[in-house]
Structure 1
Amino acid sequence: MLTIYFLLAILYPVLLGRMKAIWEKSQRPIQLKGPSEMVTVIIPFRNEAENLPSIYRSVRALNYRPLQVLFVNDCSEDDSVFILSKLLAQTNEVDMSFEILHAQGIGKKSALHTGIQHACSEIILTTDADCDLPVFWVDLMVSSFIEKEVQLVAGPVISEGGTDFLRRFQQIEWASVLLATHTGFALRKPLMCSGANLAYRKSAFLEVDGYIGNEHIMSGDDEFLLKKVIRHFGVESVRYIKEEEVLVLTKAQASWSRLFSQKVRWASKWKLHQSAIHSFSSILPVLFQLIFLSSFVLLSQGKQGVIVFCFLWGAKMISEYWSLSFVLGSFSINQPRWSVNLTSIFHPIYVMRVVFGALLGKFDWKGRNSLDKP
C-alpha cells in the first residue's frame, strides 16, 4: 500500500510538469486581422439583468468592425429584456448592429440556434452575458480562420479575481481546467472548450447538424459541437488560442452552493460523450482525488506511513503551485501561495462533492431544474 502512494507522489508531479512544458512550448504569434467581412457575436441570456449593462459596454468597446451583435433571450423572468432594450435604444453605431431575439424553444442551445439562424456572417463568435471581453477578442479569434481548413476556434476563460477564498479557489480551479484543455488540443485529442469563448463557421455548424442529438441536454453546447466538428472535419479543423489577449473573464459564483450547481451541471454530461478517451480523462482526475483522500489512512501506519503521507501531500501542493501559478502568471494573474496550497488541500473534497452530484444528476440552474425538459 505504501508503494502505491509513493509512486503517486512521483507520477503526479511528473504529469503536471509535462502539461506545464506543453503549455510553455506552444506559444503562437498574435495576428490581427484587419476589418473586412462582417462577424456575428451571439450572446444568449436568461435572467441576466444585473450583468447585461456590463457585457453591453464590453461589446461596444470591441475593436473589430463590421460587427453584428445578437442578444438572444432564453425565457428570462426578470427585467433583462427591458434593461437591454433601453441600452440598445441609446446606441448609434455605423458599423455595429444590435438586435434582441427571442429563443425559438427553451434552453441555451435553442437560444444559440436562434441566433445562428439570424446571423448574417459566416464567422460566428459566442460568449455569455456574465463575461468581460478583451478589446481585440474578435480580431484575434477571426485571424485563425485565414486557414481554410479551420472550422472552430476555442479560447481561454477564467473567473474574475477577488480577495475571499471562494473567488481565489474558482480562479485557481479554472487554471487547472485551462491547463487540461490546452494539453488536449496540443496532443490533438481535444476534450473540452468553453462556449463563453468560442468561434466557428456557420456553414460548419449547419453541416454537422448543430445540436441535433444532444438538444435535450442542458449543457454541452460547446463540447458536443467540438466533438461533432472533429468527427466530421478532422482534428486539424480545430484550434485553441491560449494567449492573454483573447482571455475572457467570467463572473465568479457568489456562493459555494451556486458553484457546486454549476460544476455538477457541467460534470453530469461526462457519460454522454460516447468516447473512451473522454471517459478516461474524466475518471482519472477523480481517481487521483480518491487516492489523495484515502491517503489519510497512512497516518495510522506508523512512522513510515506518516513519512509517505507527508511526501505525497507535499508533492501534490508543490507541483500544483508550480504548474497552476505558471498558468495564472501567463495571464498576468498572481495568487498567493497560501491560496493555492489551501485549494490543493480542499480540492479533493470539492471534486468528490461534484462527482456525487453528477451521479445523482439533479441540479438547479437559473431557475431551471435538471429534470425539466427543454
Structure 2
Amino acid sequence: MGSQGAQQGVRDVSGERGVRGVRGGRSALCTAVLLCATGLLGGTATAAQRTPAPTPSPDADARHLDEVRKEIEGLYRTAERATEEYNAAEEQVQLQQKKIVELARTIDTAQRRLAVLKRQAGALASAQYRTGGIPPELKLVLNADPGAFLAGADLTRKGQQAVKGVIGQLTHLKTDLEGYADDASHRWERLEANRKKKDAARKEINDKIDAAKTLESRLATKEKARLRKLEDDQALLAQQKWLDSGALKEITGKASEQGKKAISYATSQIGKDYVWGAVGPDTFDCSGLTLQSWQAAGRTIPRTSQEQWRQLPRVALKDMRPGDLVIYFSDASHVGLYVGDGAIVHAPRPGRQVTVAGAGSMPILGVVRPDGERTG
C-alpha cells in the first residue's frame, strides 16, 4: 500500500461525516432568523424580540468544539492510564492469590510432617521412661558381657542419631513453618494493597468515562458528527506529519511467521467494542487486544502496555516490522499492533471499536518485538 496507501486508508477512516448535517443546521438557523425578522413567528413581537440574536461565528464555534474534543480526549486518556493500572493490579491480585494457595498447601503438608515427628519424639521419650530413665551410656558401662557391650554400643549410637535426627527435623520444620507463615502474611498484605489499588483505579476509570460521556451527551447530533470528524482530522494530521518526516521510507521489515498469525488475529477483531479491562473474545482494551493477538501466535506476553514496554525486546523505529507492538505516550498507556504500510490495528477507547489507524496518529514512545531476542 505504501505511504500513499496509508494516507488514503486513514482518509477513508475519517471520511466526510457530519458535513451535510452542519450545512443543514445553518440553513435552519437562517430560516428561523428570517421568520422572526418578518414577524411570521408572532405579529405582536417586541422590538427586542424582532432583533435576531447574534449568530456565533464559525471560527468561535470551531474553537469551542475543539476545546470539547481536547477535554474529552483528556478524560479518556486518564481513563486509559487508570485502565492499565487496574490491569496491572488485577494481574498481581491473581498472582498473589495463587501464591497464597500454594503456601497454604505447603503449610498443611509441613504441619502433617510436624505431627509425625512429634509422635516419633514422644515414642522415644516413652521408651526412655520405660527403662527407668537410666542413660544408655551408663547401662553400657555396667554391662559385664563384652559382646553385649559392643552390640549395645552400636544400638545406642543409632538411637542417639535417631533422636538427634528427629530433633533436627523438628527444629528445621518449625523454622520453615514460621517462614511460610511470614511469607503468607506478607503476600496477603500485598494482595490487599493491590485490591485497594484496583478499586481506586476502577473508580477513577468509571468517573472519567462517565464525565466524558456526559460532556459528549450535551452535544447535538450534528455536533457529535463534527466532533468525530474533528478527532479523525487530528489523527490524520498527526499521521501526515509522521509520513512527511520520512519515517515510513526506512521501515521495510517483513513479518515473521508468528507475526503474521498475530496480525491475522488482530485484524479479525476489527469492529468489536472497546471495553476497559477486557481481553476478548468479544470485547478488548488496547493491551488486551495485543495480548490475545500474540497468544494466538503462540507467545505469552505481559498483560499491560507498560509491562509490554518494560519487558519485551525493544527495536528502533526504522527496524519495525509487521507484528511488532507500537507503544504510545510518555507513560506507555496505549499500544497498537503494527500491520505494515504505516498502519496499526488497535482498540482506541470507550465508545469506539477495534480499528485500523495510522501508526503515527499518536505520539510514539517506542516499538517492542514479542518474538524478538532480548539483549543485554
TM-score range, shorter chain: under 0.3
Structure 1 or 2: more strand by fraction? 1
- Which structure's CA Rg is the greater one? 2
Structure 1 or 2: more helix by fraction? 2
Provide the TM-score with structure 2 as the length reference.
0.21
Provide the TM-score with structure 1 as the length reference.
0.21
